[in-house]
Amino acid sequence: MEVFKNQQIDIEGLPRMKNVGYIKPQKSFLILTLIKSLLFWSIFTGLFFLTTIAARQEFPQLVPYAKYIFFPFATLSILLTWISYYKRGHALRDFDIIYKEGVLFNNVTTISFNRVQHCEISQGPLEQVFDLHTLKVFTAGGQSSDLEIPGLDEHSANGLKEYIVNATAKKTLSTEESSIIQHDTPDNFQNIIMDTPTKNTPSSEEQ
């Protein structure tokens, strides 16, 4: 019988995430995110000026301070939107897919192929204008997508989806085969043979 072992793993020898080569979204995705940010702040600026005009009579001393807060914050938000494009990226490995994003807070999401339930490709109204697609990866038991990779062209999105689906099928099949092999060991076959009733042949006297 095999003895259970629980040996310590050398952490220094493990592969580093920083050594992974990430693939950035399409350049048009940067333009799309900037347009979304500008539209948001354009609407917000209009509301800000309407509020400023309405409050000028009652709180005139607050108007200059509000401007000093609003415009730097809007500029910083647009700048972070620009930087966030260069912080995004995805990568495929033998057993999983990785996606990273974030400027102030970095997020790295890794999904193992044997946990993937299904994938789908979505495209919003603005994404259709720039011919961009978003790949959504769902894990088993999840109602919402656990991983979203935006800024993909049609060829890349379909290629990623096909690769993940095929890899998931291979991992699932491999797991099922391993389970069958573990259950159908020689000991189990021996037990099956021993439990099978043998047919008694008549003796010469009985004949």
- CB 112: neighbour CB atoms within 10 A? 14
Q: Tell me, what's the pLDDT at 121? A: 94
Q: What is the pLDDT of residue 182?
A: 53
Q: What is the pLDDT along the chain (207 residues), one digit of tens a residue?
A: 678 888 777 777 766 766 788 999 999 999 999 999 999 988 888 887 787 777 766 666 666 777 778 888 888 999 999 999 999 999 998 889 999 999 988 899 999 988 888 899 999 999 999 999 999 999 876 667 889 999 999 999 999 999 999 988 876 666 555 555 555 545 544 454 445 454 444 544 444
E strand segments, the chain: 89-92, 96-101, 107-112, 116-122, 133-139, 147-152
AA letter at 65: Y
Residue 143 and residue 121: Cα distance in Å, rounded? 16
